[in-house]
Amino acid sequence: MAKMWSGRFSADASSLLEQFNASIMFDKRLYGEDIEGSLAHAKMLSAQGILTKSELEQIQSGLAQVKDEIESEEFVWSIGDEDLHMAIEKRLTQIIGDAGKKLHTARSRNDQVALDFRLFVLRHNTKIALLLKELMQTVVHLASQHTTTIMPGMTHLQHAQPTNFGFHMLAYASMFKRDIERFISSSDRNNISPLGCAALAGTVYNIDREAVATELGFDSISINCLDTVSDRDFALEMLFNISTVMMHISRLSEELVLWSSYEFGFIELSDEYSTGSSIMPQKKNPDVPELLRGKCGRVYGSLIGLFSVMKSLPLAYNKDTQEDKEGLFDAVDTVMISLEILEQALATMSVNQDQMQSATAVGHLSATDLADYLVSRCSIPFREAHFITGRVIGLAQELGIDLSTMSLEQLRSVDERIGEDVLELLDLTNSMNARVSKGATATVRTLEQVVYFENYLKGLDL
């Protein structure tokens, strides 16, 4: 079958080349964007007197039919057509005849694919931001219910200071807020129409790029045609943004896996979002967070993959660029289902407050409070206070008890300057609530943070 570009060729393409060269198997996903772009382009060509009104009408009805055929799955996607752009144009011409052959006036597949891919990225930036918003809503709601649920805060995965579960969840709300902002700012920066750049150098026709940009909902047109047809920064930004989301998801997932173990027992995932073992009847496995952790890797792969494709490409369009799509499509699909399932897993899990509370009873979580007490009430320099507290901890270890349950006599056996007023400071809930600096873990501060994030979500218009 003759190719659209076959004028200067005398032999047919080999079937091996057809297979190797084609992108139609995956770029057909861009059919909606492609048809929208063609409609805007044709409308502009007609307004500029390059197409007649009747040709425009034929193109409009022909493209509507093509769209219907694609959506009803009647459309035949054939590898011989190479990519979706040529497949659609070929079918349009079969339907409407010669007017179909005029659609590509003042256009190249280079600006056409740059448009389709950019529109896909911009639209999915918003879809992902919306899913992040829903996840964040669930996280903030969970936090609002647990501002007094005391748990051990950790550094190096070792007991450090008492915190509350709400405070812990709000750390993730903070990450998801930044993630949302990254998708929004990336869309703002890249909201630029590439159409009219043609192959690389613009066109001799009297086109109106601004009209096309407005028709397609872009803020403005690109400045330099050569850059526009080869630029894939917008896709790299999206892949970086998705990778960052997946990294955050993976960190939370890691905690969910740990917390659902017998050793922690802080949470229990619902049956709906847990799996069993084929051999061990007693098992309830956290496959969802494990897979979420694992899927982070493939998304990083897509980011590095596209960086590697783009590196060293001479200007302007090169066929290498066709490799931009599959990795990005996969990353988009991966992050979208990941956000949805994580939201569900969190919304349906149960939080074992008693277990969190008993975990605070070991590890001397109020040790810093004792040192701070020695500094502020006994005027002991912090370094010395740190040492004395270390001795107290040594004694507690010897006695096999936690600092928070030591008696005044036991404390004073290490240093006589310790007074009775220390006992309430060593109580774990008091220790948590003593941290009242801005952004700290005290319940009052955690509640402030809940309100902050609730207001942010309320004002977020996507």
CA dihedral 52, 53, 59, 63 (to 10 degrees): 150
- Out of 18, 27, 33, 36, point to the residue binding ligand ARG (CB under 6 A): 27
Q: How far is the CB of 186 from ligand ARG (least distance, A)?
A: 21
Sign for the pseudo-dihedral over CA of 71, 76, 78, 81: negative
Q: Give the catalytic positions in this structure.
A: 156, 277
Indicate whether 106 belongs to the interface with ligand ARG (CB under 6 A).
no
Q: How far is the CB of 109 from ligand ARG (least distance, A)?
A: 4
Q: Distance between CA atoms of 233 and 254, rounded to whole angstroms?
A: 31
Piece of the chain touching ligand ARG by CB under 6 A; list 182-190, 318-326, 386-394, 414-422: 318-326
Q: Distance between CA atoms of 316 and 202, rounded to whole angstroms?
A: 12
Q: How far is the CB of 307 from ligand ARG (least distance, A)?
A: 17
Q: How far is the CB of 43 from ligand ARG (least distance, A)?
A: 22
Indicate whether 110 belongs to the interface with ligand ARG (CB under 6 A).
yes
Sign for the pseudo-dihedral over CA of 12, 14, 17, 22: positive
- Out of 191, 244, 322, 344, point to the residue binding ligand ARG (CB under 6 A): 322
Q: How far is the CB of 127 from ligand ARG (least distance, A)?
A: 22
Q: Distance between CA atoms of 445 and 305, rounded to whole angstroms?
A: 43
Q: Contact at 8 Å (CB) between 36 and 53? A: no
Indicate whether 89 belongs to the interface with ligand ARG (CB under 6 A).
no
| DSSP-assigned letter for residue 12 | P
CA angle at 133 for the pair 71 and 334, rounded to the nearest 5°: 50
Indicate whether 113 belongs to the interface with ligand ARG (CB under 6 A).
yes
**Amino acid letter, residue 413:** S
CA 73 to each of CA 28, 36, 69, 70: distance values in angstroms, whole numbers, following the listed order? 12, 19, 6, 5
Q: Which is nearer to ligand ARG, 328 or 406 (CB)?
A: 328
Q: Distance between CA atoms of 344 and 340, rounded to whole angstroms?
A: 6
Q: Which is nearer to ligand ARG, 28 or 127 (CB)?
A: 28
Fill in the per-residue mask, 264 to 303: x = in contact with ligand ARG (CB under 6 A), - = not in contact.
----------------------------------------
Indicate whether 260 belongs to the interface with ligand ARG (CB under 6 A).
no
Indicate whether 193 belongs to the interface with ligand ARG (CB under 6 A).
no
Indicate whether 317 belongs to the interface with ligand ARG (CB under 6 A).
yes
Indicate whether 402 belongs to the interface with ligand ARG (CB under 6 A).
no
Piece of the chain touching ligand ARG by CB under 6 A; list 108-116, 213-221, 263-271, 326-334: 108-116
Q: How far is the CB of 272 from ligand ARG (least distance, A)?
A: 40
Q: Contact at 8 Å (CB) between 440 and 433? A: no
Q: Contact at 8 Å (CB) between 432 and 150? A: yes
Indicate whether 228 belongs to the interface with ligand ARG (CB under 6 A).
no
CA dihedral 328, 330, 332, 333 (to 10 degrees): 160
Backbone φ, ψ for residue 187 (5° rounding): -65, -40
Q: Which is nearer to ligand ARG, 90 or 146 (CB)?
A: 90
Q: Which is nearer to ligand ARG, 107 or 293 (CB)?
A: 107
Indicate whether 83 belongs to the interface with ligand ARG (CB under 6 A).
yes
- Out of 144, 187, 321, 334, point to the residue binding ligand ARG (CB under 6 A): 321
> Which residues sit opposite 351 in a β-bridge?
267
As given in the structure block, the two tokens for residue 54 are 């009747």
Q: Distance between CA atoms of 57 and 95, rounded to whole angstroms?
A: 13
Cis preceding-peptide flag for 316 (omega within 30 of 0): yes
Q: How far is the CB of 16 from ligand ARG (least distance, A)?
A: 18
- Out of 109, 124, 146, 159, point to the residue binding ligand ARG (CB under 6 A): 109
Indicate whether 230 belongs to the interface with ligand ARG (CB under 6 A).
no
**Amino acid letter, residue 185:** S
**Chain residues 379-398 in contact with ligand ARG, contact rule CB under 6 A:** none
Angle subtended by helix axes 233-259 and 109-144, to nearest 10: 30
Q: How far is the CB of 319 from ligand ARG (least distance, A)?
A: 6
Q: How far is the CB of 4 from ligand ARG (least distance, A)?
A: 11
Q: Contact at 8 Å (CB) between 248 and 171? A: no
Indicate whether 21 belongs to the interface with ligand ARG (CB under 6 A).
no
User: Radius of gyration of the chain from Cα atoms?
Assistant: 31
Residue closest to 100 by CA, chosen among 89, 88, 108, 111: 89
Q: Which is nearer to ligand ARG, 124 or 146 (CB)?
A: 124
Q: Contact at 8 Å (CB) between 366 and 431? A: yes
Indicate whether 218 belongs to the interface with ligand ARG (CB under 6 A).
no
Indicate whether 163 belongs to the interface with ligand ARG (CB under 6 A).
no
* Residues that bind ligand ARG in the complex, under the rule CB under 6 A: 23, 27, 83, 109-110, 113, 317, 319, 321-322
